[in-house]
Amino acid sequence: MPLTSKVAIVTGGGEGIGRAIVKRFAQEGAQVVIAEIEPTGQQVAQQLNEQGLKALFLQTDVAKAKDRNNLVRTTLDHFGHIDILVNNAGIYFPRSVFEMTQADWTKMMSVNLDAVFFLSQLAAQAMKEQGGGRIINVASVNSWLGMPLSSHYNAAKGGVAQITRCLAVELAPYNILVNAVAPGFIKTRMAIVDGVDETETEFFKTFYCDHRRIPLGRAGLPEEVASAVYFLASDDCQYITGHLLVVDGGLSITF
């Protein structure tokens, strides 16, 4: 089990991509701390522990500094070290440029961007003292693509990609590798907008799948993103840092 003795924090680990990452890490032997604002985090931890795997749930609102501090402090108190941090927690809600309020913008940034930096800062301090670690951020193809009703989301994800590059340079002397994944259309709750799963609409099936706007002809699965995150967290990843690994079925290479 390649991650045996490793301690990993996964934010937003109660559902979707986060849950898939938690399960993959636990199956590979890691002790996983599930940082989640929803009760689903507790349910995932319970399921894994019943299977003989190791998971700890900490209710966490990553937008709050006190919760971030508690997450890192409790993890260190409980396990003694932090080897892997996955900044996965994220939110999305559509807003046009004409409807966007300061509160909308601030809410999006606090979860999708600010929390990534400040949690990385906290974890990096522990990793520096122990001689190394891995930070993996979940960005998006929206980091560089334009999209209507999403200026706040895309700006935040673009920031995540840039934070990844900057932290990779700054933390390299301490043997801390910092990378990111950029998912495309993935079948998660975030794909549901106004009660409609966009990956199940006729438009999506025709335009993206049948016409091969996505060359692989389908939406991705959370487990496929988790596999990419696992690689970046594993010992197979030794000489890669500051990289944005795209997991989108080829979406972003078409035009």
Which of 92, 153, 208, 230 is the catalytic position?
Answer: 153
- 8 Å CB contact between 232 and 245: yes
Q: What is residue 184's predicted lDDT score, i.e. its pLDDT?
A: 96
Residue 62 C-beta-side C-alpha neighbours within 13 Å: 29
Location of structure tokens 């409807």 = 99
pLDDT(240) > 90: yes
Q: What is residue 62's predicted lDDT score, i.e. its pLDDT?
A: 98
What percent of the chain is predicted at pLDDT more than 90?
94
pLDDT(192) > 90: no
- Band of pLDDT at residue 1, cut at 50, 70 and 90: confident
CA 37 from centre of chain? 15
pLDDT(252) > 80: yes
Q: What is residue 80's predicted lDDT score, i.e. its pLDDT?
A: 97
Question: For 99-130, what is each residue's pLDDT tens digit?
Answer: 999 999 999 999 999 999 999 999 999 999 99
Strands 196-197 and 192-193: antiparallel
Q: What is residue 191's predicted lDDT score, i.e. its pLDDT?
A: 77
Give dist(CA 182, CA 141) in Å, integer: 5
Length of the chain counted residue by residue: 255
List Cβ neighbours of 149 (8 Å cut-off, separation of 6 or more): 94, 95, 96
DSSP letters spanning 111-170? IIIIHHHHHHHHHHHHHHHHT-EEEEEE--GGGTS--TT-HHHHHHHHHHHHHHHHHHHH
- Band of pLDDT at residue 255, cut at 50, 70 and 90: confident
What is the average per-residue pLDDT within 31-48? 97
Question: Which amino acid makes up residue 160?
Answer: V
pLDDT(158) > 80: yes
Topology of the domain covering 7-190+221-253 = Rossmann fold (3.40.50)
CA 114 from centre of chain? 14
Give dist(CA 83, CA 45) in Å, integer: 19
Give dist(CA 39, CA 210) in Å, integer: 38
SS3 186: strand
Location of structure tokens 């990793």 = 127
Give the domain ranges of the chain.
7-190+221-253
pLDDT(169) > 90: yes
Computed over every residue of the chain, the mean pLDDT equals 96
Q: What is residue 217's predicted lDDT score, i.e. its pLDDT?
A: 96
Q: DSSP code of 190? A: G
pLDDT(68) > 80: yes
pLDDT(198) > 90: no
Judge whether 174 counts as a catalytic residue.
no
pLDDT(8) > 80: yes
Strand partners, 181: 138, 245
SS3 75: helix
Q: What is residue 147's predicted lDDT score, i.e. its pLDDT?
A: 92
Question: Which amino acid makes up residue 240?
Answer: I
Give dist(CA 203, CA 10) in Å, integer: 33
